[in-house]
Homo-oligomer: A and B are copies of this chain.
């Protein structure tokens, strides 16, 4: 072997063969030392370790996974929505995955099924399990995936899939919020909708309708405002609400981004929140407590959704604890001030109770 140039070292990668040759032992011995399998004499071990150090040897994960038949990687497929939500989801999943010694292979932004299917195929042999949030049919997953790969579907529409699913209790949360507004005396409650084909949006709307029906309040189609989960749509909805006649006394935006946009829209029309119009959101993103007035919303433990998903596939991989297939993640009503339930704090006057602005939480379900 010719002597290496300084710059060469960057391009020459040592394999287990090189280590074996340098240490004058066999491949098997090197492997044993590195993986702690089988007995090795202390002296031999030292020789091997020295060679490893000298050569800067790092095992090739790809080759290893070919024979061990596991990649220690979990694939995550996400739809194309951005913002707080996904960073939290990935964060939660990464934490749980790392705890179990797994990596995360994320792939986002998939609009159509065809696209998603290709990504699924490309992932075969690169991941041990999958967390899928994209809006794909359950059997599409089966088709694209060559079996044996545990899958957990996040917020998936159909309940009758054989795959594991975890869903946020969107309906229950929306129901709780609507009931809360009804309790405050509101009867004309506008709802800012999400994307028509979005499962979360559909469920939240359903919860709203259920709550109204249960109280014998008619669902007025004129109060159903279009939206798409972006703040821009919320702002437009706010303007619409201001012009509605008779004007709704409350607005329930099906996510916080729209609620915050809506606040700007209402303000733009000179309306005060909550004095003129009560406002509520959904998600409890971190900044919802910093808008003024602080936003009443439904808390969703997003990072927990991610971590539970990861935990589920990991335990499926380990073959332990065959928990029930379908899981529902509860939500929490967070009452702040935008709905008018609390007396709004007066500027320049200390609040009556020290922590009066803090969200009071009520567990649901």
Q: B148 and A11: CB pair below 8 A?
A: yes
What's the least CB distance linking A151 to chain B, in Å?
11
Give 5 pairs: A residue, B residue, CB < 8 Å, sorted on A: A9-B147, A12-B147, A91-B109, A94-B107, A98-B109
Q: Per a CB cutoff under 8 Å, which of B13, B94, B105, B263 touches A290?
A: B263
Docked CA distance A73–B61 (Å): 13
| Binary B-proximity of A201-219 (CB < 8 A = 1, otherwise 0) | 0000000000000000000
A104 contacts partner chain B, Cβ-Cβ < 8 Å: yes
List residues of chain B with CB within 8 A of the CB of A73. Answer: 105, 126
Q: A124 and B61: CB pair below 8 A?
A: yes
In the complex this chain forms, how many copies of it are found?
A: 2
Q: A146 and B58: CB pair below 8 A?
A: yes
Task: Report the nearest B residue to A11, measured CB to CB.
Answer: B148
A185 contacts partner chain B, Cβ-Cβ < 8 Å: no
Query: SS class of chain A's interface: helix, strand, loop or mixed?
Result: mixed
Q: Per a CB cutoff under 8 Å, which of B12, B83, B147 touches A13?
A: B147
Beyond A94-B107, A98-B109, whether A126 also contacts B270 by CB under 8 A is no
List residues of chain B with CB within 8 A of the CB of A349. Answer: 270
| Binary B-proximity of A84-110 (CB < 8 A = 1, otherwise 0) | 111110110011001000011111110
15 additional A-B pairs beyond A14-B146, A287-B287, A287-B291, beta carbons within 8 Å, are: A10-B147, A12-B147, A58-B121, A59-B125, A61-B124, A61-B125, A82-B88, A83-B286, A85-B87, A86-B90, A103-B105, A103-B123, A260-B290, A267-B347, A292-B292
Task: Report the nearest B residue to A126, measured CB to CB.
Answer: B61
Q: A105 and B105: CB pair below 8 A?
A: yes
What's the least CB distance linking A267 to chain B, in Å?
8
Q: B144 and A58: CB pair below 8 A?
A: yes
A348 contacts partner chain B, Cβ-Cβ < 8 Å: yes
Size band of the interface chain A makes with B = 35 or more
Q: B104 and A272: CB pair below 8 A?
A: no
A62 contacts partner chain B, Cβ-Cβ < 8 Å: yes
List residues of chain B with CB within 8 A of the CB of A12. Answer: 147-148
A255-270 residues at the B interface, CB under 8 angstroms: 257, 260-261, 263-264, 267, 270
Docked CA distance A126–B103 (Å): 11
Q: A86 and B87: CB pair below 8 A?
A: yes
List residues of chain B with CB within 8 A of the CB of A147. Answer: 9-13, 56
Of A63-71, A130-138, A188-196, the one with at least 4 CB within 8 A of chain B: A63-71
Docked CA distance A143–B264 (Å): 52
A319 contacts partner chain B, Cβ-Cβ < 8 Å: no
Q: B108 and A106: CB pair below 8 A?
A: no
Q: A347 and B270: CB pair below 8 A?
A: yes
A44-75 residues at the B interface, CB under 8 angstroms: 56-66, 71-73
List residues of chain B with CB within 8 A of the CB of A87. Answer: 82-87, 90
A350 contacts partner chain B, Cβ-Cβ < 8 Å: yes
A231 contacts partner chain B, Cβ-Cβ < 8 Å: yes
Docked CA distance A71–B66 (Å): 13
Task: Report the nearest B residue to A72, measured CB to CB.
Answer: B122
Docked CA distance A88–B109 (Å): 12
A224 contacts partner chain B, Cβ-Cβ < 8 Å: no
List residues of chain B with CB within 8 A of the CB of A260. Answer: 287, 290
Max count, chain B CB within 10 A of own CB: residue among A108, A145, A349: A108
